Structure 1
């Protein structure tokens, strides 16, 4: 069966790889041939090779009710009684949208849940159940091709909150550290194979790391900062890396960060560079030295999220508690800032996020 009547197959495929990710569900429902084509691994490879993929930011963001905002004049209500949704930002166009709610959580996502992108899948893991406020080990997966949710295998190992989470963008999501229900920091690490819907325990880190940051760079899982049970909120400067090929951890680098700070905003900028926001500044690690890049605009001085993309940094933050969150793009070549448009319904606090290329 022809993909598109009267067109050669290669031309028809060239047309299909150019559709927007938002049209994937509609296009796949046109015919079995189109659905098979879009679902195939070759479709993604061709789309990537032709530079037709789209980069989107998916954020765990508190919902802002327009009526409540008009009545109070502040976002304090949303900040103190947050209900979280999955917001989608297209940095290239500045467009915002919202994903449908996950099954079992129609009235809001678990607080402090973590998300990661793997291919066309968005994986939502754990958090505090919005009804019971207990740590959840649930896993839900949203597929952008079909615009549907499915249930994944529960995260093993007992309650875990404030863990680090990152993916290799291929098929594996990593979970590291965090703490249990007794506030005991953890050093255990898990790997979730999305395609197989299976979890595996990896060797423990050398030490406990609560509120650490996970980054996959150069095929290695890098765990940055965090703190042990006894330190409770006093962040350390160390890091360690896991090599999946050898299944071993590297020796701990004690002075990886030049200051004990929350590593939440630490991101891989490519070209062997790491960026982080600290004390109102964006700083970069170059050749084993941390250097100041530029000051953060006062409007987003309290940065809640940062992501690197194509020679730029995307920062989302606010000027203070209960104030609207907004996004800024930093051009790393010119060090110039550009403010993104933030519709009223997408000015809530961003708790976590991930960048997908789909």
Structure 2
């Protein structure tokens, strides 16, 4: 059966790789041939080679009570406890949208859940039940091709919170550190193979790391910062690396960060560069030295999320408690800031986020 009537197969495939990710579910329902085509690994390879993939940000973001915001000027959540949704930002167009809720989570995402992208899948791990505040080890997976949810295998080892969570973008999500139900910081590390729906325990880190940050580059998992049980919120400057090929940890870098700070904004900038926000500044790591790049705009001085992409930095934050969250792009070549439009429904607090190329 022809993919598109009267068109050569190579031309038809060239047409299909240009569709927007938002149209994947519709396209897959047109015919078995189209569904088979977009589900194939070759479709993703062609789409990537032709530079037709779309880079998006998915954020765990609180919903906003619009009526209350108009009365008070502050962001008030839709219920006594914050209700979180999965918001999608396309930085290239500035468009925002919302992913459908998982059938098992009709009242919102677990608080402090972590997310990571693997191919066309978005993996949602752990968090607190929004009503009971009980920690969970659940896994939910949203597939962008079919716009459907499925349940994944529970994270082993019992519930953990505030762990590092990062993907290799192809097969695996890594979970490191965090704390258990007794507030004990953890040094254990897990790997989740999304296609196999299977968890593997990896060698422990050298020390406990609560509220640490994970960065994955070139087969190496780097876990930055965090703190041990006894420190309780007093962050360390250290980092350590796990080589996925040898399955071994390297020595601890004792003075990796310039200052002891929360590492949530530490991100991979490519070309052996890292970025982080600290005390109102964006810093870059060059060699062994952190250097100031630019000051953060006052409107987003409290940065909750940052990522580096295509010669620019995307930052999301607010001017203070209860203030709307806004998005800014910083062009690394021109050193100019550009404010992105943030519809009122997408101005809630961003608790966590990840980027996907689909």
Q: Same fold (TM over 0.5)?
A: yes
1:67 Cα deviation (Å)?
A: 2.1
**Do residues 180 (structure 1) and 180 (structure 2) align?**
yes
Q: Secondary structure at the match of 2:44?
A: helix
1:38-90: per-residue Cα shift (whole Å, max 9, x none)? 00000000000000000000000000122232243321446973110000000
| Alignment gaps of 5+ in structure 2 | none
For 2:274, the equivalent position in structure 1 comes to 274
Structure 1 stretches lacking a partner, 5+ long? none
Correspondence for 1:240:
240
How many residues align? The count is 358
Normalised TM-score (structure 1): 0.99
Counterpart-to-counterpart distance in 1, 2:4 and 2:297? 50
Matched-pair contact (CA < 8 Å) for 2:242–2:250: yes
Q: Report what 1:70 is aligned to.
A: 70
Is the contact between residue 64 and residue 76 of structure 2 (CA under 8 Å) also seen in structure 1?
no
- Which position in structure 2 is the counterpart of 1:86? 86
User: How far, CA to CA, are the matches of 1:154 and 1:242 in structure 2?
Assistant: 23
Partner SS for 1:22: helix
Q: Are the counterparts in 2 of residues 78 and 348 from structure 1 also a CA contact under 8 Å?
A: no
The list of structure 1 runs, each at least 4 consecutive aligned residues, that deviate by more than 2 angstroms after superposition, is 70-73, 76-81
User: 1:52 and 1:39 mapped to 2: Cα distance?
Assistant: 16
1:112 aligns with 2:112: yes
SS in 2 for 1:160: coil
**Is residue 30 from structure 1 mapped to residue 30 from structure 2 by the alignment?**
yes
Match of 1:161 in 2: 161
| Structure-2 residue corresponding to 1:249 | 249
Contact 1:242 1:249 in 2 (8 A): yes
1:230 maps to 230
Contact preservation (8 Å) 2:77, 2:83:
no
Q: Distance in 1 between matches of 2:159 and 2:18?
A: 43
Distance in 1 separating the partners of 2:287 and 2:161? 34
The answer to whether structure 1 residue 220 and structure 2 residue 220 are counterparts is yes
Shift in Å, 1:99:
0.3
Deviation by residue 1:256-289 (Cα, 9 ceiling, x = unmatched): 1111000000000001000000000000000111
Which structure 2 residues correspond to residues 188-227 of structure 1 after superposition, within 5 A? 188-227=188-227
Q: 1:295 to 1:120 in 2, by over 3 A?
A: same
After superposition, give the CA deviation of every residue in 1:101-139 in whole Å (9 maximum; x if it has no partner).
112211110000000000000000000011221100100
8 Å contact from structure 1 (residues 212, 223) kept in 2 = yes
Q: Distance in 2 between matches of 1:64 and 1:136?
A: 25
* Alignment RMSD (CA, Å): 1.0
Q: Is 1:62–1:79's contact at 8 Å kept on the other side of the alignment?
A: no
Which of 70-79 and 285-294 deviates more? Answer: 70-79
Moved more, 97-106 or 37-46: 97-106
> Scaled by the length of structure 2, what TM-score is found?
0.99
2:288 equivalent in structure 1: 288
CA distance in structure 2 between the aligned counterparts of 1:224 and 1:245, rounded to whole angstroms: 20
Query: Which residue pairs with 1:330 in the alignment?
Result: 330
CA distance in 2, matches of 1:197, 1:146: 18
Distance 1:348 1:48 in 2: 32
Distance 2:30 2:152 in 1: 28
